[in-house]
Each structure stands twice: as structure tokens, then as C-alpha cells.
Amino acid sequence: MKIKTPIALIVYNRPLLTAKVFEKIASAKPKKLFLIADGPNLSDSNDIKLCNRTRAIIDDINWECEVLRNYSSRNIGCNNRIITGLDWLFSLVDECIILEDDCLPDISFFKFCQELLTYYEQDERIMMVTGNNPLGNWIKGNATYHFSNFGGVWGWATWKRAWNLFQPASDAWVNKNTHECIKNVLVNKVHSKHRLNKCIQSFNSQKGSWDYKWSFARLLNSGLTIVPNKNLISNIGFSKKASHTKNESSSRANEPIDSITFPIIHPLGVYPDRYFDTLKFETTHSHSNNNNKLITVV
């Protein structure tokens, strides 16, 4: 497999995880590779060593490839590093497939993203392609994928035209009238209240999660996410040392992955699958009052 679409890998200080994800990227042999790295905590000698080991892994390119690097000399934090890294990336290319160091893809993920980035290049209704399907298999008709108002960033792809809406949406957040768009787009009161609260936390905190800001940008523009009907990404980074995925016993950790069969079969229309969104929401956000564990809906 040789992927023409640029691929970006975002790393920090986890060499073992990075090596597993990088091996998958090497199998895809992209013609253009973006490497984005956060810097070490300069007061922590072990962190410096881990960052250096991680960068040594991704510097070992053994196929014909244009490599562009954006390495921070100091630690600026996961959220800021991803945002600044993607701003830099999309100043150079019009589309990209994006992986973080803990998002292990099936090899079919790359071709799936590449074909749909081309197919929907000019369709501004679509703002993102994700590889993660938390329901595992979601077979509805014979289409290879469906559309969602949600969409995870554990292995994803987008266009410059969509990412260019990220900062304007962040600026618009200060106007509370824009918050209503979440209610209008999601329709479901429970879903919209939860997403609104998550966005409030993200925008009002220095450590707010960038992906909820990205979600708000999509909702503000009624942008849809393409979700494969099989799960193509497993998050292998659940750990107490992780930035966000700290619960090692989470049902979302190390989800099994499957493969997409080609050629891709497109859905008959472009609309959000609200039944999928409901089950997805319950799977990833509903909690038992007794043990605070995720309830999986099958």
C-alpha cells in the first residue's frame, strides 16, 4: 500500500506506543509524512530521555517519503501542541490523515480516509472522517459508512477548509448565542446538554480539551462526521500517565479493530444517523450510579 494523502503523527514521550503506531504508518508508506512532537519538561531528565527515544523512532524512515517535522523544544501541553501542530500542517496541505501516538489503526483505515477525503473534498456538509466506531460493528443497509453529529479523534482525517473553521468557532464561543447551535443541531436535549457542558469546561479552562472545541466548530457549522461501519482504531494508551484516558479498566481501552472491505459503498443520502448517535452516546457517556463504569449498549 502506498498512500498519496499526507499522514500526520503526533507524539510526546511514549516510545513503546509510538513504535506500534509508526509501524502501521510505515506499512502504508505515505508519500508525505508530518511529524509533530511536544517537547520535554526541561526540569525532568527522564522526560527528556523519553522524548528523545520517541523522536528517534519516528526519525527512522526507510521508504521514499517527504518528511516535515514540527518539534517543540519545550513542553507546551497536549492541547496547545495539537492545535499549533495542526495549524502548521494545514498551512502546507489541503487534507491530511491524523494519528496520535496511542491510536493504533487497521491498515484499511488509511485507504478508507484517502478515498473519502477525495470523494467529499468539495462537500462542505462533511467536516471530518473518523476511524473509530465505539459500537464496533454498525451494519445498516449495505453502505460502508454513515454520518454522525459526533465523531472521535482517535484516528481521523479532515480538510484545510474544515480546520480553518476551528479558530473562528473558538472566537465565537464568547457569544452565548452561538451555544444554541448545539441544541439546534443535536436536537436531543440530553445529548446537547452534555456536549454544551463539555464545551463550557474546555473553553473556560486553560487545560480544556481541544477536541471538544473542534466538536463545537463542527456543530456551529452543522458539519457531519463520516463514521465507518466497522471499528478501525484502537486506543492502546489508557494509563494513569495518560493526559486524558487514565482509566485502564475502561471498556473503551484496547477496543478490537476490524477491516473495511473495498470498494467503498456510499450511503444513499447525507444525513446524521440519529439512532447510531443515541447508542454511541449511551455507550460512551452513560454511567451506572453504582460503580461509575461505562454501560455498553449492544
Question: Of the ranges 17-26, 130-139, 279-288, which one carries the lowest mean pLDDT score?
Answer: 279-288
pTM: 0.92
pLDDT band at 283 (very low <50, low <70, confident <90, very high): confident
Under 8 Å CB-to-CB from 223, ≥6 apart: which residues?
Answer: 124, 125, 126, 127, 128, 162, 165, 217
Confidence of residue 251 (pLDDT cuts 50, 70, 90): low
Residue 243 binned pLDDT confidence (cut-offs 50, 70, 90): low
CA 221, CA 244: separation in Å to the nearest integer? 26
Instruction: Report the SS3 class of residue 172.
Output: helix
The stretch 215-220 carries a mean pLDDT of 97
In the prediction, which pLDDT does 205 show? 83
The SS3 call for residue 48 is helix
Tell me the residue type at 129.
Answer: V
Helices (H) and strands (E) in the chain, counts: 10, 10
197: CB partners within 8 A, 6+ apart: none
What domains, with CATH codes, occur in the chain? Answer: 7-270 (3.90.550.10)
> What percentage of the chain carries pLDDT values higher than 90?
82
The mean pLDDT value of the chain amounts to 90
208 — pLDDT class (breaks 50, 70, 90): confident
